[in-house]
Amino acid sequence: MKKWDIAVIPGDGIGIEVTPEAIRVLDTIADIHGGISFQYKEYPWSCQYYLEHGVMMPEDGLQQLEQSDAVFLGAVGDPKLVPDHVSLWGLLVNIRRGFEQVINVRPAKQMSGIDSPLVDPKGFDFTVVRENSEGEYSEVGGRIHSGEDETVIQSAIFTRRGVTRTMDYAFELAKTRRGHVTSATKSNGLVHSMPFWDEVFQDISKNYNSIETQSIHIDALSAYLVSKPHAFDVIVASNLFGDILTDIGAAIMGSIGIAPAANINLNGKYPSMFEPVHGSAPDIVGKGIANPIGQIWTAKMMLDHLGEQEMGTLLLDSIEEVIEKGIKTPDIGGTSSTTEVTDHILNTLTLRA
């Protein structure tokens, strides 16, 4: 019996509502499999925790999580309680960086049963591989002068190591998919960072002769995700560009409520972290209508990462079946509750197994 230790951080808002749903799913998966089990340890780190302790997580928080096989996170942030940059950098970004989760992987695909806002989504199916540790999200910068003369500098920092490992990951992923990598650039506007990004992309593509490549400026690429998303397979992007592209990806899927994400530690030193793309959505908290699919699909990414791809595939198939049957929360045009959607996924899993 393989036992996986999962550190669970429900976080804020609907994070608290959807995380237990995904755990019900994981337990059913374990039952079906027979040879694996999950042991959860829950951490109450959140904006509420901040109000009580003055920090989003304790000083030794990373050490507490370190022995787990994966971190499973719901959503962080509640701007009414704590400013976003405090809550998000204090918890989410802190874990991403502390655990060297240098890659963020976010798939986007047309799901039958969910109406895309696009007239003709043509079965798009792409994955964004996002640099997750440096780039535009740097704390380097500051202010000078005040009043009318106030000037602010914000520096993006890219290292060859950081860019290389991200691109390697993207190319390796493309090998297992349709063999195509698109690089998101803006070398015509950002004249230091992006020409460098392009150079590394060219260098690395030489190691992957079987992979087709192209570079597209972020402005045009954002537009293409609307006009021809089916043209993309793997997209590799910087921290900021990846952030933007994956939200567009969620939008064309029909709801940010279904989009999953994985923060990958590559060197095996620390656990990886799995958290959906959506945030804590304070506006729908307590109504029982939060879409659990983002969190459940994220559990599928965790299963894949733990080596349980067969279970991962079973789970995604079950999710799709339930959606196709019309068992959906309101954000994707249904009338079902959070719990009802999960219940149907559990039944489908059991029937399919």
Residue 349: C-alpha distances to residues 117, 149, 301, 313, 315 (Å): 29, 62, 16, 11, 7
Measured CA to CA, the distance from residue 79 to residue 232 in angstroms comes to: 35
Tokens matching residue 64: 């507490």
- In order, the DSSP letters of 4-32 are EEEEEEEESTTHHHHHHHHHHHHHHHHHH
Q: Is 88 in the site for ligand IPM (CB under 6 A)?
A: yes
Decide whether 70 or 167 has the Cβ nearer to a copy of itself: 167
By the 8 A CB rule, do 205 and 181 touch? yes
Q: Torsions phi, psi of 70, nearest 5?
A: -165, 155
- Report the nearest approach of ligand IPM to the CB of residue 101 (Å): 11
Decide whether 219 or 324 has the Cβ nearer to ligand IPM: 219
Residues between 81 and 140 with contacts to a copy of itself, criterion CB under 8 A: 84-85, 88-89, 115-120, 136-137, 139-140
Window 140-179: contact mask with a copy of itself (x via CB under 8 A): xxxx---xxxxxxxxxxxxxxx------------------
Window 32-71: contact mask with a copy of itself (x via CB under 8 A): ----------------------------------------
Residue 192: C-alpha distances to residues 168, 185, 218 (Å): 22, 12, 15
By the 8 A CB rule, do 316 and 349 touch? no
Q: Is 188 in the site for ligand IPM (CB under 6 A)?
A: yes
By the 8 A CB rule, do 128 and 248 touch? no
Residues between 193 and 222 with contacts to a copy of itself, criterion CB under 8 A: 193-196, 218-220, 222
Q: Is 219 in the site for ligand IPM (CB under 6 A)?
A: yes
- Report the nearest approach of ligand IPM to the CB of residue 130 (Å): 8
Decide whether 251 or 353 has the Cβ nearer to ligand IPM: 251
Decide whether 189 or 286 has the Cβ nearer to ligand IPM: 189
148 binds, among a copy of itself, ligand IPM, none (CB under 5 to 8 A by kind): a copy of itself
Q: Left if phi > 0, otherwise alpha if psi is -120 to 50, otherwise beta: which for 226?
A: alpha
Decide whether 85 or 175 has the Cβ nearer to a copy of itself: 85
Query: Please, what is the Cα angle at 118 between 226 and 318, to 5 degrees?
Result: 110
Decide whether 154 or 313 has the Cβ nearer to a copy of itself: 154
Q: Is 248 in the site for a copy of itself (CB under 8 A)?
A: yes
Q: Is 189 in the site for ligand IPM (CB under 6 A)?
A: yes
Q: Measured in Å, how far apart are the chain's first and last C-alpha atoms? A: 19
Size of the site for ligand IPM (CB under 6 A): 6
Listed residue (294, 293, 298) closest to 341, CA to CA: 293
For residue 181, the SS3 value is strand
Q: Is 81 in the site for ligand IPM (CB under 6 A)?
A: no
By the 8 A CB rule, do 332 and 258 touch? yes
Binding interface with ligand IPM (CB under 6 A): 88, 93, 188-189, 219, 243
Site for a copy of itself, rule CB under 8 A: 77, 84-85, 88-89, 115-120, 136-137, 139-143, 147-161, 186-196, 218-220, 222-224, 226-227, 239-240, 243-244, 246-248, 250-252, 256
